[in-house]
Amino acid sequence: MTASLTPLVVVGDALLDHDLCGRAERLAPDAPVPVVHGTRRSSRPGGAALAACLAAADGRPVTLVTALGADAASDTLRELLAGRVGLVEVPLEGALSSKTRVMAGDRPLLRLDDGNGRAREASPQAVAAVAAAGGVLVADYGRGTADVLRDALVHTAAPVVWDPHVSGRPPVPGVRLATPSAQEARAFARRLDDAEAGDTAGLRTAARDARTLVRAWQAQAVAVTLGERGALLSHGETPLLVPTPAAATGDPCGAGDRFAAAAAGLLADGTHTEAAVQAAVHAATRYVAEGGARAVAVADEPETDTMPSADGDPTADAVRTAARVRAAGGTVVAAGGCFDLLHAGHVALLQAARRAGDCLVVCVNSDDSVRRRKGDGRPLVPAADRVRVLRALECVDAVAVFDEDTPERILGELRPHIWAKGGDYARSRLPEQPLVESWGGQVLLLPYLDGRSTTGLARRAAQAPTPAGGHPR
């Protein structure tokens, strides 16, 4: 596939992003702030580096031209980019910018920013990379990389997509497509016409701003991104609204980078602007629905193939497994249940679920959850043993344990493409079905073997005949 796609050069400011993801279920006793527990820390490329990784995930060769220095954050980012994209550096003055988000599920609670480094000057290698590019994406985050390479960007013969930032300069004249968000378009337009602040979500405002920016920037086209509403494409006259194909809920961080990267790659391949924008809207929608930036994140703790400890939480491994499969373009399948006494019905269901996709994550009720659902006599097998048995099945790729009565929380972290359940649910609507469908997922019912149940097995075991001598075998 790579040979048919035009190589892309991404020029812009790389960032290093960290996420601290956990659960927030109560407030602190000494202040009205949420307490986040069970946190898992991950790091990922941010800014222009995220845009480059997303473009490379489409299967095309990508070279990132960005400013890096001798600081620890720059070294970490180099490690994260190794093997994903080619790297051409320009010198960085100061420390690489990084940001840390504290997340409760998909909801950010706090962000901490560090580093204020800026690109110092262009390098001959960077200028040569822009000159030889088949397509260029400028991911400007206002930290100087696009500024020091501005002359090279003016003179490149390649189609240029410019994703601007309010802290940066306007695009160079003649870009094929500029991709500001509605808020960015409003800010740039106000600088030009000194207009009153308007409703950035309004289509009339977005259309007016896009028309203003096409003319002021001498751009061939401007696509104003509108979040869940899609994008508004303008060549300077009547705009074209490109809606999203479906409602997608989730973490939108990086959705603009996904849009710009998809559009830049397609325009480099020779696709018409309207078709490229439509495909970019679809790509950004899928990106949000499938977990967003988490797909390119790397856990700070090294992964192992060992079993989690009895009191550990295997959810992190399950989330990483799902993210890896999504990033590779595969289908994530999840199935859930108590799996108290694993029997032939369970195995048949899990084998069928695994055949429906490229990985299977099994969501298992914790001991407390089983007890609330089944009564004080259950579970018969503790969670640690149930996890061990399930992980031993060839059809199971990962197992996650959830404490709630229903699996909505863990499904929100996994975001599977398919949620598989036994056919005995065919006449009822599952409570988690609206959640799965909210990110474009599908609930899939699979045949269930009749006559197999944990309750029946337990009852027959309790009624087993006692042999002579009075001791059961």
Residue keyed to tokens 């096409």: 214
| Peptide bond preceding 379 in cis form (omega within 30 of 0) | yes
Strands (E), 309-468: 332-337, 359-365, 398-402, 418-422, 442-446
Quick one: tokens of 189?
């337009």
Look at strands 359-365 and 398-402 and give their pairing.
parallel
Look at strands 62-68 and 86-93 and give their pairing.
parallel
Instruction: Give the C-alpha separation, 280 to 127, whole Å.
Output: 28
Instruction: Give the C-alpha separation, 405 to 423, whole Å.
Output: 20
Q: Tell me if residue 194 is catalytic.
A: no
Strands (E), 330-389: 332-337, 359-365
Maximal C-alpha separation, the chain: 98
Q: Residue-wise over 241-264: b if at least 16 C-beta within 10 A, else e? A: ebebeeebebbbbbbbbbbbbbbb
Kindly name the residue from 257, 317, 340, 397 that is annotated as catalytic.
257
Taking the CB of residue 459, how many other CB atoms lie within 10 A of it? Answer: 10
Q: Using only C-alpha atoms, what is the Rg of the chain? A: 26
Using alpha carbons, select from 286, 220, 217 the residue that is nearest to residue 258. Answer: 286
Q: Is residue 52 left, alpha or beta, with left meaning phi > 0 and alpha meaning psi from -120 to 50?
A: alpha
HSE, CB side, 13 Å, CA atoms: give it for residue 277: 26
Dihedral of alpha carbons 210, 213, 219, 225, sign: negative
Instruction: Give the C-alpha separation, 389 to 376, whole Å.
Output: 23
Q: Give SS3 for 40.
A: strand
Which residues have a catalytic role annotated?
257
